[in-house]
Amino acid sequence: MALPSWFRVNGEMAYEPAPELAKKKIRLHFLDRTLKATAGLIEEFIFSEAYSQKPGMLQGLDPRAKLLGVLLLVVGTSLIHSIPMIYGLYGVTLFLAFLSRIDLPFFIKRVWLVLPLFVGILALPATLNIFTPGDPVWRIYSIGKAYHLGPYSLPPEIAMTEQGISAALVLVGRVATSMSFILLLTLTTPWADLLKALRLVRIPQIYVQTLGMALRYLMLLSQLVREMHIAKKSRTIRPEKTKAEQRWIAGQVGTLFKRSMQFGFEVHRAMVARGYQGEVRILNVFHLQKKDYVWMIFCATLSGLLIYSGR
């Protein structure tokens, strides 16, 4: 690619990169990777807010009805024992996401990128006959003889069992389906409306306000950390010694804490100056319509069927 004219000295190129550097991957520093992920989280949050403004099915429902319906479905999901029913209900979440004009690859990744890290680690040991005895499906290792230590025993062959795999699939399916319903609620409901709906269903005011403030401050402080790091990096010619870098980080931690306290006082004074008396109020007025009652009846019926089948 040709260099711009201002990058030349007397008609000659001041610097010409080596061709082999074009295909070389640059590995970012740990702090750079962390801040890049933080920036991606902020952008993803802003992008997710845009879904609540789309003219979809769930976006048109009353937030109170939507919240109650999702809670009923999550309770019903937690009581299912049938693997086909669990993953069939997960298919319902995908259909609702499609009707709500949510990008399906984005929706699926938001759920399944979290599951392998947390639930998968918990569910994987349950597939072994060490923890879940049953019919072996895949033999992993042979010890030769059984070992006993008090109430615990180690079988002569370590293997995955059919019962263990079924238990793991049930656990992963329940978590994936419940997370999908909660994600549908948060993606299709503006944050302020969701907080107001939580208050109207008698969630204590202190929890609702703490949740709202924590989310906003998390995004703001993450952006401040990123800006401080970029400002230092743009003014640094060469890396300093480890102790000097540690002193700078310690100083910035103190600065960030001081700024967060200052922000807290300023926000509180601004809220009091605007009439805050312990309850956050928004201008949106909720009205239940026929489609909201249809949604709640559908969720109650489906949840009742799930609870009955899970007996």
What is the longest distance spanned by two Cα atoms in the chain? Answer: 84
Average pLDDT, the chain: 77
| Confidence bin at 230 (pLDDT 50/70/90) | confident
Average pLDDT over residues 73-77: 90
- The count of C-alpha atoms lying within 13 angstroms of the C-alpha of 169, restricted to the half-sphere facing its C-beta, is 14
Average pLDDT over residues 232-259: 78
Within 10 Å of residue 129's Cβ, how many Cβ atoms? 21
Give me the pLDDT at residue 25, please.
Answer: 60
Q: Which two structure tokens, joined as six digits, stand for 192?
A: 């302020």
Which residue's entry shows tokens 């890396």? Answer: 239
Phi, psi of 154 (to 5 degrees): -115, 115
Task: Judge whether 65 and 200 are in contact, CB under 8 Å.
Answer: no
Give me the pLDDT at residue 167, please.
Answer: 82
Average pLDDT over residues 41-55: 68
Give me the pLDDT at residue 10, please.
Answer: 56
Instruction: Say whether pLDDT at 158 is over 70.
Output: yes
| Confidence bin at 45 (pLDDT 50/70/90) | low
Give me the pLDDT at residue 181, please.
Answer: 92
Q: For residue 223, give every residue at least 6 positions away whose Cβ sits within 8 Å of its Cβ, in sequence order, or none.
A: 39, 42
How many Å apart are CA 89 and CA 177, to the nearest integer?
A: 7
Top-confidence residue, 68 or 17:
68
Using one digit for the tens of pLDDT, what is the confidence trace for 86-113? 899 999 999 999 998 888 888 888 888 7
Instruction: Say whether pLDDT at 156 is over 80.
Output: no
| Confidence bin at 38 (pLDDT 50/70/90) | low
Return the minimum-mean-pLDDT range out of 47-56, 70-79, 144-153. 144-153
How many Å apart are CA 295 and CA 64, to the nearest integer?
A: 11
How many Å apart are CA 79 and CA 232, to the nearest integer?
A: 53
Q: Taking the alpha carbons of 171, 173, 179, 181 in that order, is the dihedral positive or negative? A: negative
How many Å apart are CA 141 and CA 159, to the nearest integer?
A: 7
How many Å apart are CA 207 and CA 214, to the nearest integer?
A: 10
Q: Which two structure tokens, joined as six digits, stand for 120?
A: 């998968």
How many Å apart are CA 81 and CA 307, to the nearest integer?
A: 10
Instruction: Say whether pLDDT at 283 is over 90.
Output: no
Instruction: Say whether pLDDT at 201 is over 60.
Output: yes
Would you tell me the crossing angle of helices 83-99 and 290-309 to the nearest 10 degrees? 170
Give me the pLDDT at residue 128, please.
Answer: 73
CA dihedral 38→172→87→70, nearest 10 degrees, is -60
- Which element (helix H / strand E) includes 298? helix 290-309
Q: What DSSP designation does 127 have?
A: G
